[in-house]
A = this chain, B = another copy of it.
Amino acid sequence: MKQKIPYKIYLLEDEIPRQWYNVRADMKNKPAPLINPANGKPLTADDLAPIFCADLNKQELDNDTPYFDIPDEVLTFYKMYRPSPLVRAYFLEKALDTPAKIYYKFEGNNTSGSHKLNSAIAQAYYAKKQGLKGVTTETGAGQWGTALSMACAYFHLDCKVFMVKCSYEQKPFRREVMRTYGASVTPSPSLTTKVGQKILSEHPDTGGSLGCAISEAVETAVTHEGYRYVLGSVLNQVLLHQTVIGLETQKALQKYDIHPDIIIGCAGGGSNLGGLVSPFIGEMLRGEANYRVIAVEPASCPSFTRGKFAYDYCDTGMICPLAKMYTLGSQFIPSPSHAGGLRFHGMSPILSQLYHDGYIEARAVEQTSVFDAAEYFARVEGTLPAPESSHAIRVAIDEALRCKETGEAKTIVFGLTGTGYFDLTAYEQYNNHTMTDVIPSDATIAESLAKLPKVGNE
């Protein structure tokens, strides 16, 4: 007889995975290498050394090693907030009256409010190990900056966050969490960098952009002795660290002999989706199992469903390396009316390759329908979800309702990446019925894609 499945499946502390899984080792078609825009050649560890930490560069470029040991210091920190629960959504199933069995892996029970901490602590650890003084980064919505601030406080590293100026002003609470953890938070563009000075002299009233904040963070890292730049998504190393999500999910499912049919994650740069699904796709790549894996992206920024698989800059400022990925073009600007943090024009090169090879399907959803799902979920499951996470909720509910129609008792697993406590301006818009859906026209996307760089694509 099967055990009764509890509302929340908690692994024991010593069941936290001791290694991260590198899905690239099982991929026949490896993700294309990063390219140096200066010479059009694949980037080497030496090229990356002035910008990123040495150990992280190794992880970034390694397509072959299947597992990387999680350092003891990182494992200890993980015990602060991990294992995270795999929740059986009994309340949601009952409310939907569906035969589907729904589970979600909840990564929001830590003060940074999201899964971002899984990689932040690893990146801070390697920076500390290398004897660095500190790290720099940019943040838009603020989840990554918050996570990095917590990680740096733990390792007594300095943390310089460049926060897009309009976010700095509109999200003072996110800023204060970072400051409470000892980070210095600078509105970007700022007078502290040359690129910031230049932009301010040309556009004194600008609210800033993620592209500009990246440029300032990178400039600060390379011009300050003992600093490196760190990034919270897109990179292979970030997906590697985030596999702790999927590995824990696998272990929790195995404990109760649960076999998922559908695995769903929201997709911006790919850090959460990649972390959740990599171990499952690994099984598919090795021919051990088969799953439907669904990436959910915003209809306002649909890189998988309407983008092109090509080399492109990772940043709007066009100073970062080129990556081969599904992209809308680095000059694509998602509608400012979109509330979620899934506004990146591109997608993780690993996930892009897997999508290209048919291991992932993708779906684009409109934000009003995402907030319908978010509010419904909050009321029946009790947790106020982040707008990003709610993209996955939307599709999980849609799939569960499909099961209700067909009578199939499918098992659905989705990633609930975080909480929405700092996203209440968006909820307010939704509550006041002033939230709108803005979907880019074909012409807008074509215009942006016409500006793709030649390097790598010829």
Contact = CB atoms under 8 A, between A and B. Distances in A.
Interface in A281-331: none
A428 B381 CA distance: 32
Contact of A8 (B13, B177, B427): B13
Nearest to A77: B382
A359 interface: no
B431 A180 contact: yes
A379 B428 contact: no
A55 interface: no
Contacts of A428: 172, 176, 179
A180 B176 CA distance: 24
B182 A379 contact: yes
Nearest to A422: B421
A65 interface: no
A426 to B, nearest CB: 9
A431 B179 contact: yes
A132 interface: no
Contact of A382 (B80, B173, B380, B382): B80
Contacts of A181: 378-379
A421 B173 contact: yes
A384 interface: yes
A110 interface: yes
Given A6-B12, A111-B384, A419-B111, A176 B379 contact: no
Given A428-B172, A431-B179, A81 B421 contact: no
Nearest to A378: B180
Among the interface residues A12, A80, A382, A427, which one has the most CB atoms of the partner chain B within 10 A?
A382
B79 A7 contact: yes
A410 to B, nearest CB: 23
A126 interface: no
Contacts of A431: 176, 179-180
Contacts of A81: 382
A384 B431 CA distance: 27
A154 interface: yes
A419 B177 CA distance: 12
Interface string A165-206: 000000011001101111000000000000000000000000
A109 interface: yes
Interface in A1-53: 6-8, 10, 12-13
Interface in A128-169: 150, 153-154
A176 B172 CA distance: 17
A8 B427 CA distance: 32
A63 interface: no
A179 B379 CA distance: 11
A430 B79 CA distance: 29
Interface of A: 6-8, 10, 12-13, 79-81, 91, 109-111, 113, 150, 153-154, 172-173, 176-177, 179-182, 375, 378-384, 419, 421-422, 424, 427-428, 430-431
Given A7-B79, A10-B10, A180-B431, 5 more contacts: A80-B91, A80-B381, A111-B382, A154-B382, A173-B173
Cβ-closest 3 pairs across A and B: A173-B424, A421-B421, A176-B424
